Amino acid sequence: MRLSEFWSLADAVFGPGYSRTLARELALDAAGSMTCEQALAGGVAARDVWHALCDQMDVPMDQRDGGLRENLVPPRRP
């Protein structure tokens, strides 16, 4: 997943304004309490950050594409 795809999905799922607030302020349990911005800047793969954000926000797997079926959400790492 590219970084641009991460932001596109975040905007589609959470809305453009709220997605940026979440990325800046929400500490992700699965990312050692880093925010999305910190995790991405620290080299954590965008797809791992995406799943961590969705897990923390209780977004079901079938809604992680933002309702846009052309958005291919990469599978969670095993």
The predicted model scores a pTM of 0.87
- Mind listing the pLDDT tens digit for each residue in 10-66? 999 999 999 999 999 999 999 999 999 999 999 999 999 999 999 999 999 888 888
pLDDT band of 72, cuts 50, 70, 90? low
- Rounded CA gap, 6 and 40, in Å? 10
- Rounded CA gap, 54 and 51, in Å? 5
Q: Which two tokens stand for residue 69?
A: 């079926």
